[in-house]
Amino acid sequence: MRRLLHLTGQHRTASVDRIFGLLLAFNAGAVNAGGLLVVHMYTSHMSGFASQVADGLVLGNVALLLGALGALLAFITGAATTAVIVHWAQRHHLRSAFALPLMLEAALLLVFGLLGAITLTWPTPFAVPLTVLLLSYIMGLQNALSSAMSHGKMRTTHMTGHVTDLGLELGRLLYRNARDTPVEQRVRANRVALRFYGGLIGMFIVGGVVGATGFKYIGFVWVVPLAALLLALSLPPFRRDMRRSVYLQLLLGSAARRFGRRVPPSGP
């Protein structure tokens, strides 16, 4: 349990990164599968949306084209947001550089859980409801976070690459080296990677089962505990920064004073 308190901190081990990746894959599977029941599309499936752009252009289907462009732009914006937050935090020597995007994701999941039914009726210029753009933005935010933490080695909102890597490792595992093959030339599977890729795919599927079941029987509010978990994982490094970073203290203090001036006093 102690490891969970350092998942989004500055100093992490490879095993901690693997645990974090598994949790994010579960979260993405849950949001993706649950979102399908609500908006009837997979909001992390950017390959599909890119194909829809082409289909929309060829078929002259403006609604299809706009919807796909909206999802793509929302996903890209989410990824860009993560990059801005991480680089800003690192520039100011904050240990919560990877925790801050996760806190934002948790906050947006809370919004989705509490207001998702309302945003389904909010139109956008992209011919899809605001819910689609929100979920795509969240997925872009998370995928960029896992990529930044792993230096591009791990994606958690889509499994195509990991399924490919799993197949490669299985092929190496099944390959039979000739007896006279020198040791340094023998084909060997990376068993750690094999277990990790299998774990990511398994957690994505388990998350999908949980997400679809939650949406079917509970509704939007089922994501609130999931958002609370992400928030709990991201708070410890942020709290440490709050204690040690004078810059962050001044920044939040200034924001609080500015917000306080805008809120009129209550009472007579």
Domains of the chain: 7-262 (1.20.1250)
Residue type, 69: L
Q: What is the pLDDT along the chain (268 residues), one digit of tens a residue?
A: 455 555 555 556 677 778 888 889 999 999 888 888 888 888 888 888 899 999 999 999 999 999 999 999 999 999 999 999 999 988 888 888 888 999 999 999 988 888 877 877 788 888 888 888 999 999 999 999 988 887 777 888 888 888 999 999 999 999 888 888 888 888 888 888 899 999 999 999 999 999 899 888 888 888 888 888 888 888 888 888 888 877 777 777 777 777 666 545 544 4
Closest CA to 83 of 40, 140, 20: 140
What is the model's pTM? 0.86
Residue 76: predicted pLDDT: 95
Closest CA to 31 of 142, 120, 122, 130: 142
At a CB cut-off of 8 Å and minimum separation 6, what does 160 contact? Answer: 47
Say which residue the tokens 């750690």 belong to: 192
Cα 146 from Cα 82, distance rounded (Å): 10
- Burial code (b: 16+ CB inside 10 Å, e: under 16) for 65-90 equals bbbbbbbbbbbeebbebbeebbeebe
Cα 265 from Cα 268, distance rounded (Å): 9
Residue 248: predicted pLDDT: 76
Residue 1: predicted pLDDT: 43
Contact yes or no for 27/205 (Cβ under 8 A): no
Alpha-helical regions (H) of 40-61: 46-59
Residue 123, sorted as left (phi over 0), alpha (psi -120 to 50) or beta, turns out to be beta
8-state DSSP, 188: -
What is the dihedral sign for C-alpha 35, 41, 42, 46?
Answer: negative
Cα 16 from Cα 29, distance rounded (Å): 20
